Chains A and B, each alone.
Chain A
């Protein structure tokens, strides 16, 4: 029993960056933008989040852990959103091809992250960019008093770091926005059929920009999670390492539904740490391929499914412009 709880606990922690990436991309694709630059935006958010916490610690004599978390979240969000803004400008305003632009953003973001990571590292005596213990601790799990001592559920539900809860809140908020509100309805219309949305008086360009940039910001927070939690607040070269791509596949697994993204990221998080909790005596490398192998399986399985409701937003991948007047 303990083993299972430990596995699930670790799966949640490992799945959270995927959750952010998936949620960000769902929001983006709902507006009809297929932004393949999730990986890049995660790099950008990761390095910016670290930089925020790093320089805050450097310039303040007695840094507060909570404030450092807040600064990291804000920096990561705006850095990811900045990447998405470049993407939006190129695809929505300049009508560039969405796939090419997304791939370019991935390459750009990886370079951006690694470059500024090295720059920060070079300013320190130790030769690596990292934050001190106090800030590091702020990204560790918080045991909610009382609740966390409940047997079984205590560890499973009330013992995570603050970002895990943030991810769940974002998922719930997005589900509410998309299904219950006018703004969500308009956004879905923009992603499905921009010409119809336009004729109904919806500002298609504005909706696309906002959804894509907020989505990019959420992806950025996912990158920051990798740096601050998974890598314990130190910049590791190429730390995102394909997670953005798994998130893109998870969007399909989740059938563009934020609530299902929770499940998907839990499963994939579990697969990525399985070797530590379920030793089968097979080579490490085989464990390492599990998330990718599962991605292939999921992509094949979901493309067989025919349901109309759970398909990709119809205009996703195509730029919209009114017919020439």
Chain B
């Protein structure tokens, strides 16, 4: 048993540099036993880097780390485990084709032959202690995201960790799953473990943590007791200046025309499983329709069906055209859809894969939508160049130059290039899939503003989102997907988060009850 002190971990003037970039600058931080410390900061503020130094992935350039009052050197994940530090990464580190139990004992010493029965018993014991629900013999690829996270947590506990670090643990969970996770965390806290949770969601910080440490540009700008904190002052510390947290929601256009009408849409995914099942809804001009749902509930297939990328089994997708009557695009290829005169813009989830070509510059990327226009075999570079210049200017894109490959741009600027290009085509329907994923607060608000501008211009916007707070504030309507089916279409000004959360899972809940 390691000697337990009240202070579990003490970081003292820790510095970490990557080349010329200083990721952590003289960071000092104390983590106590029996408390939950929230580490709050924007993307790139150095939260994850700091925690990676505790979990042995990075090694600090300067400064000292004390665990249980002893100065330590953490050179590898193994060292971290032996000090009782376990980290649950944002991207799960699990092997898909192995079972939960197999993942949990991965890399641990022991007898050559695996005693599966005894192992399953030990896992059940840990599960009961903290209230997890997990089947040790279930394969990871059959698990939901929250089950996978549970396996990650048990994996760390099985290794005897009493200092737990969770990197953005709620990013992929529904509100109900989040609550369950927080219950587990509180039980661990009562068990005198030290818990660090990295997040940028304010309400979670306020509901679960005891203290908050705020990082900005690699430095700790303050540590406050959660009871003395509120949303506004935490945000200001995080961003460094006063910000308005309200997303405004302009009135939707009165009697907007039907821009997109979907009826009984059914699609199969690449594994031949129904990804969309009898989906129907109508999107009008001058409205923002939000799509909520657990990751993988059919959002991707919905976007791809509308843009002609995903084959449709059944149903109709009708889009209005500036000239001519509405057109059902089912069965048409993307090229045919573009030729038919439908003006639609799509901001895909995978920005640098489907949206932009990472190694090409802004001009060439702008050209991707228009290079087919024009006579003769030669490309017209002048018009796209002017357009690119315009986008960079009007959206305040920070770039080394128009000819720099877009992969060198930050996430927020990449998204602005993509959105700028799509908006420039003056679409009637704009589909944006997770447009603020991975963006910092300022960039996110800029994107919301841009979407609202489009709405005011009479564009019909379909917004696929994951943050329910944002969906509720930004959208006019919210359509909730659950396992490929529409489980509800709600008026966003009336709906509550709990309501949406329930609808996100309710079909699954029914299924479980049937079993």
Contact = CB atoms under 8 A, between A and B. Distances in A.
B93 A195 contact: yes
Interface stretch (B107-115, B235-243, B277-285, B360-368): B107-115
B95 A188 contact: yes
Contacts of B111: 182
Contacts of A186: 106-107
A182 B95 contact: no
Contact of B97 (A192, A198, A325): A192
B466 interface: no
Interface in B96-129: 96-98, 102, 105-108, 110-114
Interface in A89-111: none
A197 interface: yes
B94 interface: yes
A185 B97 contact: no
Given A200-B77, A201-B78, A201-B81, A189 B93 contact: no
B292 to A, nearest CB: 29
Contacts of B77: 198-201
B207 interface: no
A38 to B, nearest CB: 24
A200 B93 contact: yes
A182 B110 CA distance: 8
B161 to A, nearest CB: 13
Given A199-B77, A202-B107, A309 B97 contact: yes
A189 B107 contact: yes
Contact of B98 (A192, A198, A202, A325): A192
Interface string B127-153: 000000000000101000000000000
Contact of A201 (B76, B98, B113, B141): B76
B97 A308 contact: yes
B93 A199 contact: yes
B448 interface: no
Contacts of A311: 97
Contact of A185 (B57, B59, B76, B102): B102
Contacts, number: 75
Interface in A264-318: 306, 308-309, 311, 314
Contacts of B95: 188-189, 192-193, 196-197
Contacts of B434: none
Interface of B: prevailing SS = loop
B97 A182 contact: no
A202 B77 CA distance: 10
B271 interface: yes
Given A182-B111, A182-B114, A325-B58, A196 B94 contact: yes
Nearest to B271: A306
A181 interface: yes
Size class of B's contact patch?
Answer: 20 to 34
Interface in A162-195: 180-183, 185-186, 188-189, 192-193, 195
Contact of A308 (B76, B112, B141): B141
Contact of B106 (A189, A195, A306): A189
Given A189-B95, A309-B97, A197 B114 contact: no
Contacts of A200: 77, 93, 106-108
Nearest to A196: B93
A325 B59 contact: yes
Interface string A194-225: 01111111100000000000000000000000
Nearest to A200: B107
Interface in B66-83: 76-78, 81
Contacts of A195: 93
Contacts of B96: 192-193, 308, 314
A189 B98 contact: yes
B114 A185 contact: yes
A39 B344 CA distance: 54
B123 to A, nearest CB: 15
Contact of A180 (B81, B97, B107, B114): B114
A8 B272 CA distance: 40
Contacts of A180: 113-114
Nearest to A309: B97
Contacts of A198: 77
B156 to A, nearest CB: 11
Contacts of B58: 325
A197 B97 contact: no
Interface string B262-279: 000000000110000000
B497 to A, nearest CB: 33
Contacts of B271: 306
Interface of B: 57-59, 76-78, 81, 89, 93-98, 102, 105-108, 110-114, 139, 141, 271-272
29 contacts: A180-B113, A181-B113, A182-B110, A182-B112, A185-B98, A185-B106, A185-B114, A186-B106, A189-B106, A189-B107, A192-B98, A193-B93, A195-B93, A196-B95, A196-B106, A197-B95, A198-B77, A199-B57, A199-B93, A200-B77, A200-B93, A201-B107, A201-B108, A308-B139, A308-B141, A309-B97, A309-B139, A314-B96, A314-B97
10 closest A-B pairs by beta carbon, nearest first, are A200-B107, A196-B93, A202-B107, A201-B78, A200-B106, A201-B107, A192-B95, A199-B93, A193-B95, A189-B95
Given A180-B113, A185-B102, A308-B96, 6 more contacts: A189-B107, A196-B94, A199-B57, A199-B93, A308-B97, A309-B97
